[in-house]
Structure 1
Amino acid sequence: MKINPPAKICTKPYCFFCAMNEPNTHLRRKKLAKCFKEMPFIDDQEHVLVLSSLWNLAMNQPNDPEFPSLGIFQCMSNFILKGINYKDWLLVDQNIYIPYYAAHIIGSYTMNNPKFAEKAANSGVIPPLLDLLRGKMSWVEQRVAVRALDHLASHEKSFKKLKDYEGEIVGLSMKIASKCLKEVYDSFVRKGETERVELEYQCDLLTRGVGGLEFANRKAEEWASQLQCWCLSLLDCFVKRERGLNLICCNNQSFLTDLSKMWGGLVNRKSASGIGLIRGLCHSKKGRISVANSKEVILSLCNTSRSSDDFQYMAIESLLLILKDSDTRYKVIDYAVLYLKDLVEISRVKERKGVVGEMITQVLLQDYGKIKYGKLRLSEGAEKGLEEIWEVKVEKRKREKLMNDEEIKEMKCLANQMKKEGNKLFWEGDIEGGLMKYTKGLDICPLKYRKERIVLFSNRAQCNLILKNPENVISDTTKAVCLSSRGNNNNPHCKSLWRRSQAYDMLGLAKESLMDCLLFIHCNKNSKSNGRKEYNVPYYAARMISKQTRATWLFTGVVSTSQCDHFEDIQEPDDGS
């Protein structure tokens, strides 16, 4: 790699750009090593330009071994310490940018390479990164510090160096994850353009000189989400090794409640965020007990388990881990059955193929015999839910195996007749009568006729939607979506997604409503745009997205009600199609 030298003849004894352009490889490496060793102890207004160049190289070539072998980690460590300890130096020229670039460079080189991470840890980067994590500068530097620490914690050998700071790292990460959204909003987003003069360097880092106030706010939202999610990822590195569990679980139950609400928003959907850490906790005995003791966390997992959330399977897996453990099973089963019963016929979740529904069935019915004969008592709703699963997955299967093809076809015809009668009653305005006909159709319809059952479930859900029974709507539409996932195309049933989105909206579950609505638009577009260049989002869906996007805005929980008054109140759509 080659960097153009300064226009004038350079007289600096340790010039990075001159060293980079040295044609002799051996001499070049020697000069670079000397640069990295001496740069932090020399005052030079070009340091920012040097670190900006190093940042670009680290981002674009993170696996290049040259700089890590020449002392870049020690150099960046010394720069961070200098910025923290010498405020006068930090405020000269553009030195205030240096700690940010230095921590970012460390994080980029340690992201993928365990050897680089080990070298960085041995070079003493942990204490200065911890100083940034403690808030010695601002949330902007905290973000890149936690990123670097997360990468160090993800590799086995460098993680061992972090164990000496375990208590503080875990405690700080929990605190930042819980408080960072308020911190970013109060210290940056809430401020007007004139108030941000003193935060000019943060604006420059966020926008790279492109865009104005609105763009800076969007980037601040993205960075705040990353700060929170990287803290959770760092915690997960400890949890996977069963470290820090006392702090996370036993001493701070309120953190688990906060954790179930941390999802990263639409700006950071790649991170597993709160649900990923909950899943990690459920792999340990102590974690399962702590999660099972929090009704709010369990209900959050239950809602996610039958939603269109990208991490639906993580929620299902977490619940199954708790249900398999005899010490936690009966703390959650009364809630879990009411939700998981709707998923017993699902075959795949997102890209995860397999017998997910069969796995759920086995876990839920493992002691059904005791419940059926009164040796074990659950809530009335849970017992009815297990009875429903037993009927569909065991009894009905047995009955249909004893039928011949002619009898099966006759049952299908009767189910279709019930559907037609239900449709007639529905359009005549007899919603309850239509609902009863669809129910009879579902009781009759053979399990093998998947498409017919999808329509019956979805039609019954529409009746319940009109009758304002959102829980029943969610149950039926979830069953329809699960059945539609068994097809070769794996396209969820569009109408069911829209109806479930409306039901979630009735219950105030904005995130679940938003994710269903987004998937509805995606599936609707794929089904209707064949041979067409353009697709127009239905007006009612656009309104729902607008409403739920505002409701799930990352900073909604930290903005006072008075500050939200300017948001337009969007009523639920009347369209039930």
Structure 2
Amino acid sequence: MDKVSSDCPYPGCFFCVMKEGNPSKRRASILKFFRELPSQDDDGQVLPISGLWNTAMAHPNDQEFIDLGIFECMAALIWKGLKNRRWLAHDQNIYIPYYAAHIIGSYTMNMEEFADSAVHAGVIPPLVELLRGRLTWVEQRVAVRALGHLATYSSTFPALASHGEILELSIQLAMSSLEIVYSHFYQYVDRRLSYHCDLLTRGMGGVEMESRKAEEWASQLQCWSLQLINCFAFKPEFLSTICKPEFLIKLPGMWGGLVNENSPAGIGLLRTICHHKLGRGPVASCTGIIEALCNIARSSDDWQYMAIDCLLWLLQDPSTCHKVIDKAVPALVDLAEISALGDHKKLGDTIVSVLQECIQSQGNGRNSLSNRTKEQIEELLNSRQRLKWEKSMPKEDLHIKQAAALVVKLEGNSLFSSGNISGAASKYSEALALCPMRSKKERVVLYSNRAQCYLLLQQPLFAISDATRALCLHNPLNRHAKSLWRRAQAYDMLGLAKESLLDAILFINECSQSNDPDLSLRQNKVPDYAERLVKKQMRAAWLFREAAIKHGGVHCEGDAGDIYGRETDDSEWETASESDIGNDGRDEMGDDDDDDSEWKNEDERKDKYDKPSIKDRLQTFLPENLKALNRSTLSENILQSKIASMDSLWACGMCSGAGEDSGPILSVHPLATATNSLGFDDNLNLAIWG
């Protein structure tokens, strides 16, 4: 290629080609550059590839390079890296296959016509080889990203499906990705490949940043693998391959860890599977999956509604209803008061309708219900009928019922204060029977108080049930602080770390915004009891926990480290009742319910602020920094800045963050900085999750 600029020492320099003012000459030069680059062995080839990577990230919808052969060039470079290891090891060529696959993924992210061009250019075979693990896990990550984009389009999916190994490889990668990243990179700090470190940190930052980004990339590797599988799951012919028990049973636990912000991960794939009759059968046969769906449905998870959808579809299918009904009904009954959840309007009414159909189908002999399940559904239907009756009752009668319920509740408070926990629980049950259905704020308090009793009686399942009912009745939904805390404790008693952690984080967030002196963060600090629980559950829910248990802890500079640290026993933390000491004495449960105005005015409060992503909040609460967090730190606009100040906790694997997809800082041509516009690595289109 002729030298374009006499000032540039590099013949055929891509950046100088880009400076050409004549559009016709510029296009001809770029076309020639793309054709010749794969056959060249000159030093510095990574520089134009790095520039193209930045351009693709910043302008993924720009067609210029598509028409000039960029896909053919990138595919050829990947093949060259796979077949010519001497070239790959020379200069900085080790970076090129990663960048080439990433460029393909960026340009196929939004535009179906670009994806068509990529398929016709032959990008799938080299990407499949990267997916196979022919190089390393960082190339697997960008390969599954690019293939995931190609799989989202109806015109390009058949080309992927013709490569039968893609689905099998994706399933294996989803199950093993965390172990691969941990054992091949994270565990041995002094054995980390330098180019991996450069790609992760762009040449800036040390071990802590490398560890943080490795955890983020491991999460993406797993989540993008699941999303690629999800594209296949929409086609019935692939469900038999996907719905193998050894894979299905692991899906609820594939949640992406604390760094996953946008992907539904395992629960999203389960929802797609449950949407089809062929998928519901295998799911219903796995008892562990149904239990996990019930836990997610009754949690603060962002994807709570997906678990509810799965349970409803399983109940509506006559072939699976009898397998799941006894486990699904208790959870759904607890959720029946939900008014709306995201885009799901009148979700509670939908739940009631489905459960009513279950009762009717039993009458027709299609389903067999246990007595307990039948009682729970009938109790729910009776409560709905009771609500209709109350609408026609005179106001005076309602006030009498309200007053009677208040008296009984105070009796329950007195019994609780005297240590008669069982008696207090009975009184709260009696008060619930008296309390009008429309008095939602008072019913929230009664359910939450009874949940506390069940905690002290060591009955966590009942505590979860009542706390969930309180959270569903509360306005805003899922925002009653004390119920969140009580459910967090109950989930901890059952060993469900993720569910406990999500509730505990949301509890702290609610405390930071509360005017209640019993809830507000005393001296602008996170309550010690909440801090201890969050620290404990962050360890238990750590993304690499299973891999670390299997392969051992992190080794730093030849010194074997304990990734969990040596902590004091975190099992002893305050109960909610202990943390509530200091109230006015009227309600020993510490609930903010004794203002008589709530008996007189049942208008629901409007939600004054949108619920931020639970995983956004998770990134704020780092184990050793919890005490230092004040109320302002908990606000949404502080969350990301807090991530930037992570200390050595990243190295020992106790926490994680999110950030840009990155490449190394290389010695670049002066014009390269003009195209260096980094952006967040994309998340695959959530629309394909249904």
Distance 1:532 1:21, change over 3 A: farther
User: How far apart are residue 491 of structure 1 and its match?
Assistant: 6.2
Match of residue 574 from structure 1: 574
Aligned pairs (5 A) from 1:288-299: 288-299=280-291
**Is the counterpart of residue 550 in structure 1 residue 539 in structure 2?**
yes
**Is the counterpart of residue 117 in structure 1 residue 115 in structure 2?**
yes
User: How far apart are residue 402 of structure 1 and its match?
Assistant: 4.7
**Is the counterpart of residue 360 in structure 1 residue 351 in structure 2?**
yes
Aligned pairs (5 A) from 1:524-563: 524-528=511-515, 535-560=524-549, 563=553
For residues 495-528 of structure 1, the C-alpha deviation after alignment (integer angstroms, 9 at most, x for no partner) is 0000000000000000000011111111221224
Distance 1:565 1:448, change over 3 A: closer
**Is the counterpart of residue 413 in structure 1 residue 410 in structure 2?**
no
SS of 1:560's equivalent in the other structure is: helix
For residues 275-331 of structure 1, the C-alpha deviation after alignment (integer angstroms, 9 at most, x for no partner) is 000000111111111111111111111110110001000000111111111111111
**Is the counterpart of residue 424 in structure 1 residue 421 in structure 2?**
no
Aligned pairs (5 A) from 1:133-282: 133-165=131-163, 167-193=164-190, 195-196=191-192, 199-249=193-243, 252-282=244-274
TM-score normalised to structure 1 length: 0.93
Match of residue 507 from structure 2: 520
**Is the counterpart of residue 497 in structure 1 residue 484 in structure 2?**
yes
**Tell me, which stretches of 5 or more residues in structure 2 are unaligned?**
554-562, 581-690
> Which amino acid in 2 is paired with 1:574?
E
Whole-Å separation in 2 of the counterparts to 1:437 and 1:132: 64
User: How far apart are residue 247 of structure 1 and its match?
Assistant: 0.7
> Which amino acid in 2 is paired with 1:292?
A
Contact 1:135-1:142 at 8 Å conserved across structures: yes
Contact 2:451-2:462 at 8 Å conserved across structures: yes
Distance 1:370 1:353, change over 3 A: closer
> Which amino acid in 2 is paired with 1:478?
T
Whole-Å separation in 1 of the counterparts to 2:271 and 2:361: 29
User: How far apart are residue 397 of structure 1 and its match?
Assistant: 2.6
User: How far apart are residue 372 of structure 1 and its match?
Assistant: 7.3
Whole-Å separation in 1 of the counterparts to 2:117 and 2:368: 58
Contact 2:273-2:280 at 8 Å conserved across structures: yes
For residues 193-248 of structure 1, the C-alpha deviation after alignment (integer angstroms, 9 at most, x for no partner) is 2x22xx11111101111211121111111101100000000011111233421211
Match of residue 463 from structure 1: 453
Whole-Å separation in 2 of the counterparts to 1:136 and 1:376: 51
User: How far apart are residue 529 of structure 1 and its match?
Assistant: 9.8
Whole-Å separation in 1 of the counterparts to 2:534 and 2:183: 26
> Which amino acid in 2 is paired with 1:20?
M
Distance 1:370 1:173, change over 3 A: closer
SS of 1:403's equivalent in the other structure is: coil
Whole-Å separation in 1 of the counterparts to 2:215 and 2:388: 54
Distance 1:371 1:161, change over 3 A: closer
> Which amino acid in 2 is paired with 1:426?
F
**Is the counterpart of residue 31 in structure 1 residue 29 in structure 2?**
yes
Contact 1:323-1:329 at 8 Å conserved across structures: yes
> Which amino acid in 2 is paired with 1:560?
I
User: How far apart are residue 393 of structure 1 and its match?
Assistant: 2.0
Contact 2:425-2:450 at 8 Å conserved across structures: yes
Contact 1:371-1:383 at 8 Å conserved across structures: no
RMSD after superposition = 2.1
> Which amino acid in 2 is paired with 1:379?
S
> Which amino acid in 2 is paired with 1:266?
L
Whole-Å separation in 2 of the counterparts to 1:305 and 1:567: 34
Whole-Å separation in 2 of the counterparts to 1:22 and 1:565: 57
User: How far apart are residue 341 of structure 1 and its match?
Assistant: 0.9
Q: Percent identity, please.
A: 49
Match of residue 21 from structure 1: 19
SS of 1:406's equivalent in the other structure is: helix
User: How far apart are residue 377 of structure 1 and its match?
Assistant: 3.4
User: How far apart are residue 466 of structure 1 and its match?
Assistant: 1.2
Match of residue 103 from structure 1: 101
Distance 1:548 1:297, change over 3 A: same
> Which amino acid in 1 is paired with 2:348?
G
Match of residue 387 from structure 1: 378
> Which amino acid in 2 is paired with 1:492?
R
Aligned residue-pair number: 561
Whole-Å separation in 2 of the counterparts to 1:283 and 1:491: 26
Contact 1:544-1:572 at 8 Å conserved across structures: no
User: How far apart are residue 532 of structure 1 and its match?
Assistant: 11
TM-score normalised to structure 2 length: 0.78
Aligned pairs (5 A) from 1:309-348: 309-348=301-340
Match of residue 469 from structure 2: 479
Match of residue 450 from structure 1: 440
Question: Which range moves more in the overlay, 143-152 or 267-276?
Answer: 267-276
> Which amino acid in 1 is paired with 2:223?
C
> Which amino acid in 1 is paired with 2:512?
K
> Which amino acid in 1 is paired with 2:279?
G
Distance 1:529 1:266, change over 3 A: farther
**Is the counterpart of residue 89 in structure 1 residue 87 in structure 2?**
yes
Question: Which range moves more in the overlay, 351-360 or 300-309?
Answer: 351-360
Distance 1:280 1:7, change over 3 A: farther
Contact 1:491-1:523 at 8 Å conserved across structures: no
Whole-Å separation in 2 of the counterparts to 1:532 and 1:513: 20
Contact 1:58-1:105 at 8 Å conserved across structures: yes
Whole-Å separation in 1 of the counterparts to 2:523 and 2:477: 23
Distance 1:406 1:374, change over 3 A: farther
Whole-Å separation in 2 of the counterparts to 1:236 and 1:412: 50
Distance 1:376 1:287, change over 3 A: closer
Contact 1:465-1:503 at 8 Å conserved across structures: yes
Question: Which range moves more in the overlay, 69-78 or 558-567?
Answer: 558-567
Distance 1:27 1:534, change over 3 A: farther
Contact 1:6-1:17 at 8 Å conserved across structures: no
Match of residue 65 from structure 1: 63
Whole-Å separation in 2 of the counterparts to 1:77 and 1:9: 28
**Tell me, which stretches of 5 or more residues in structure 1 are unaligned?**
none
Contact 2:539-2:564 at 8 Å conserved across structures: no
Identify which of structures 1 and 2 has the higher relative contact order when contacts are C-alpha pairs closer than 8 Å and 6+ apart: 2
Whole-Å separation in 1 of the counterparts to 2:36 and 2:364: 79
User: How far apart are residue 364 of structure 1 and its match?
Assistant: 1.2
Match of residue 624 from structure 2: none
Distance 1:403 1:123, change over 3 A: same
Whole-Å separation in 2 of the counterparts to 1:173 and 1:491: 35
Whole-Å separation in 1 of the counterparts to 2:110 and 2:366: 54
> Which amino acid in 2 is paired with 1:312?
Q
Contact 2:387-2:438 at 8 Å conserved across structures: no
> Which amino acid in 2 is paired with 1:118?
D
User: How far apart are residue 390 of structure 1 and its match?
Assistant: 2.1
For residues 88-114 of structure 1, the C-alpha deviation after alignment (integer angstroms, 9 at most, x for no partner) is 110001100000000000001111111
Please identify which structure carries the higher helix content. 1
Distance 1:94 1:402, change over 3 A: same
Whole-Å separation in 1 of the counterparts to 2:492 and 2:161: 45
